[in-house]
Structure 1
Amino acid sequence: MSPRRSATDARHTRSVILDRGVEVASVEGLEGLTIGRLATDLGMSKSGLLGHFGSKEVLQLAVIDTAAGVFAHEVPDRAAGTEPGLPRLRALCAAWVSYMERGVFPGGCFFTAVVAEFDDREGPVRDAIAGLTAVWKRDLTLQIRLAVSAGELPEDTDAEQLVFELYGVMLSLNQALRLDRDRAAPERARRVIDRLLGS
């Protein structure tokens, strides 16, 4: 086998492992993500799977990074063509609700699940989750401030408070969809968002 083919195969295998890892972690949490579990699911040896990551923590971090890529594709990227400010904020929120509604991850919002799992811990995994969450909140805050500057939202809008409230809507939506199996929840979320953004 040529070195190029070998490297291509290794990248493919790693991608397959991470895709399965995201599925498992979204349902069972990052702690449910073990080398043995994934090896069994994928018909691999533990040593073969371990060779791609080296440790459970490295695997967890890679899974988080993969999930972040999926979220970016499903939410921010869908709003990328809209005007900055309120139009972009509306598009981001619409894509966020759609991402929840469509069940992109089998266990609901990946990040809602792992935040609840790691919020009181310390270490690189918690730091990675907190960092990604902070970047998302920063992006929302930026669009709110641009909307205020453009006169699209009231001058006295508290950007951090509005982000807090939008996050609350999404946490409630995830719970309503996953725990309550409430099919009306996405429309409820859209109505609250319209009210928050002055529709």
Structure 2
Amino acid sequence: MSPRRSAAEALGTRAAILDRSVAIASAEGLEGLTIGRLAGELGMSKSGVLGHFGSKEALQLATLDRAGEIFRAEVWEPALPAAPGLTRLRVLCEAWVSYLERGVFPGGCFFVAAAHEFDGRPGPVREAVEARFEMWRERLRKEAGRAVAAGDLPEGTDPEQVAFELLGAAMALNHALQLHHDPQAPTRARQAMHARLTSHPSRIA
């Protein structure tokens, strides 16, 4: 076997482990990941799984990274071609609702689940989850600030408040879909986000 083929196979195995880890963790939490379970489901030895990561914590962090790649591809990248500011925010919000509505992760939003699991547990995994939320809030704040500067949102609109409300709508949608299986929830989330992003001052809270 050539070194190049061996390296490619190792990368493919690692990707398969991470994709299965994301599916498990989205439904059962990052603590639901065990080396033994992954080995059994993937037809590997425990040492074969562990050899790709070194520890359970490293596996959890790598799983977070993989989930982040999926979220970026589903929600952020579709909005990149749109004009910065209000237009991009609207495209982003539609992609965000669609991502939750289609159940891209079996257990709903991966990062909402991870936040609930680790928000009171100090350590590298919690820090990684917090960093991803902060990065996402910053992107929302930046686009909202651009919309205000362009006059597409009323003067005096607080970008931080816009980000807070959009996050709230997405989290409420995730909750309604996962706990209540509410078929009307995506429509309600779209209405809430549209109301927040309307340029008409009389409709801004």
Class of the TM-score when normalised by the shorter of the 2 chains: over 0.9
Aligned residue type for 2:93? C
Give, in angstroms, the shift of residue 161 of structure 1. 1.2
- Stretches of structure 1 that go unaligned for 5 or more consecutive residues are none
Count of paired positions: 199
2:122 counterpart residue number: 122
2:63 counterpart residue number: 63
1:131 counterpart residue number: 131
Matched, 1:54 2:54: yes
Aligned-partner SS, 2:60: helix
- Measured against aligned partners, the alpha-carbon deviations of 1:36-95 in whole angstroms (never above 9, x if no partner) come to 111111111101110110000000000000000000000010111100010001111111
2-side partners of 1:94 and 1:29: how far apart? 26
Aligned residue type for 1:114? A
1-side partners of 2:180 and 2:36: how far apart? 32
Aligned-partner SS, 2:198: coil
Aligned residue type for 2:66? T
Aligned residue type for 2:115? V
Aligned residue type for 1:96? W
| 1:36-185 paired onto structure 2 within 5 Å | 36-185=36-185
Q: CA RMSD in A?
A: 0.8
2-side partners of 1:173 and 1:113: how far apart? 13
1:18 counterpart residue number: 18
2-side partners of 1:154 and 1:186: how far apart? 26
Give, in angstroms, the shift of residue 120 of structure 1. 1.0
Matched, 1:28 2:28: yes
4+ runs deviating over 4 angstroms: none
* TM-score normalised per structure 2: 0.95
2-side partners of 1:123 and 1:15: how far apart? 25
- Measured against aligned partners, the alpha-carbon deviations of 1:151-178 in whole angstroms (never above 9, x if no partner) come to 0001111111111111111111001111
Aligned residue type for 1:60? Q
Q: Percent identity?
A: 59
Give, in angstroms, the shift of residue 142 of structure 1. 0.3
Aligned-partner SS, 2:167: helix
Give, in angstroms, the shift of residue 127 of structure 1. 0.8
Aligned residue type for 2:68? A
* TM-score normalised per structure 1: 0.98
- Measured against aligned partners, the alpha-carbon deviations of 1:161-199 in whole angstroms (never above 9, x if no partner) come to 111111111111001111100111100100111111116
- Measured against aligned partners, the alpha-carbon deviations of 1:96-141 in whole angstroms (never above 9, x if no partner) come to 1010001000111100100100011111111111111111100000
